[in-house]
Amino acid sequence: MKTLGEFIIEKQHEFPHATGELSALLSAIKLGAKIINRDINKAGLVDIIGANGSSNIQGETQMKLDVFANETLKAALEARGVVAGIASEEEDELVIFGNDKACHAKYVVLMDPLDGSSNIDVNVSVGTIFSIYHRVTPIGEPISEKDFLQPGHQQVAAGYIIYGSSTMLVYTTGCGVHAFTYDPSIGVFCLSHENVQFPKFGNIYSINEGFYWKFPVGVKKYIKYCQEEDAKTKRPYTSRYIGSLVSDFHRNLLKGGIYIYPNTAQYSKGKLRLLYECNPIAFLAEQAGGKASDGFNRVLEINPTELHQRSPFFVGVKSMVEDAEKFMEEFKDL
């Protein structure tokens, strides 16, 4: 049984210029995930569920576990001294780490500390999403927003932790997607899925159909296409929607499907955050043979202009995303 730590060390040869910092960074995320996992499993026994009484910069109600997960990961990353700073969905501004080591660190991390946190109260799977970049400011100088406003194709690594019936850490460094399942009896993540790939064909579509009448025409047409019977393309597809990006993406990655969160009248630019959600998931999707789009363009090519930028998001089996893009293009003017 190969552990996450052993696997990371084994793969270091794929990065001839690495000097151990990336391994230490991933180990810090692993530690944070263990602590978050422990407290999530106490939900209902201690006072960590429900709203925190405050809102994040997007105006969304913060859950107590949002704040806890954010502080846990922030502390774990700062303690290692290999990260210059972070940007988080739960922070208004970027956070610059002040210790001496951090000033010379070459990585920055962006994260959604607890995706789908509103599901905690009803015992539904949630997750943590992370994205890692090389800083672009010179080593030794203070980092700035430009270190975080890089297109997704510049990511060094990305991944997520899903807290469900089992806890799994899934990540990529641009050399395939690998998944590790947490064994609480010995406190380690063990390799359970090496070089994960999307199935060639999928039959699941994941979208909140309650907002159907607010969707662009192209999305409505694609949904109808998914629901039509066609033996050749093995339709109709099955509708499955959990309401947590990590959970929906993880299922579709293993079983084959597409996840869609389009723009609506209320969210004209989409609702998901480009830097904390779309880019890392898109990197994973492409490494697993899938595709990620904003409906028209490759997500990883988008040049971000602000930390909390939003984007429509279509991700999953390549052929399914391409079908959705065809409908978006055909009906873009309606």
- DSSP-assigned letters across all residues of 205-225: EE--GGGGGGS-HHHHHHHHH
Say if residue 21 carries a ligand binding annotation: no
Q: Are 187 and 210 in a shared domain? A: no
Domain presence at residue 54 = yes
**What is the reported pTM?**
0.93
Say if residue 112 carries a ligand binding annotation: yes
Say if residue 54 carries a ligand binding annotation: no
Q: Are 262 and 321 in a shared domain? A: yes
Distance separating alpha carbons of residues 182 and 178, to the nearest angstrom = 13
Tokens 């010995």 map to which residue? 186
Say if residue 286 carries a ligand binding annotation: no
Q: Are 99 and 224 in a shared domain? A: no
Domain presence at residue 81 = yes
Let me know: does 245 contact 259? Beta carbons within 8 Å.
Answer: yes
DSSP string, 53-109: EEE-TTSPEEEHHHHHHHHHHHHHHHHHT-EEEEEETT-SS-EE--SHHHHT--EEE
Say if residue 42 carries a ligand binding annotation: no
Q: Which candidate, 189, 168, 310, places its Cα nearest to that of 247?
A: 168
Distance separating alpha carbons of residues 239 and 203, to the nearest angstrom = 9
Q: Are 187 and 126 in a shared domain? A: yes
Say if residue 277 carries a ligand binding annotation: yes
End residue of a domain, out of 193, 212, 243: 193
Position 165 scores a pLDDT of 86
Domain residue limits at 31: 4-193
End residue of a domain, out of 154, 171, 193: 193
State the 10-residue block means of pLDDT for the chain, 334 residues long. Answer: 86 65 90 91 54 53 80 93 93 88 88 86 88 94 94 97 93 95 93 95 96 95 96 93 95 98 91 97 98 98 97 98 98 88
Q: Are 221 and 164 in a shared domain? A: no
Q: Are 209 and 255 in a shared domain? A: yes
Q: Are 244 and 156 in a shared domain? A: no
Say if residue 271 carries a ligand binding annotation: yes
Q: Are 117 and 168 in a shared domain? A: yes
Q: Which amino acid is at 311?
A: S
Q: How many domains does the chain divide into?
A: 2
Q: Are 268 and 180 in a shared domain? A: no
Say if residue 55 carries a ligand binding annotation: no
> In CATH, what number is assigned to the domain containing residue 233?
3.40.190.80
Position 17 scores a pLDDT of 55
Q: Are 118 and 42 in a shared domain? A: yes
Distance separating alpha carbons of residues 36 and 179, to the nearest angstrom = 18
Say if residue 248 carries a ligand binding annotation: no
Q: Are 224 and 129 in a shared domain? A: no
Q: Which helix (H) or strand (E) covers residue 178, if one does?
A: strand 177-183
> In CATH, what number is assigned to the domain containing residue 103?
3.30.540.10
Q: Are 282 and 169 in a shared domain? A: no
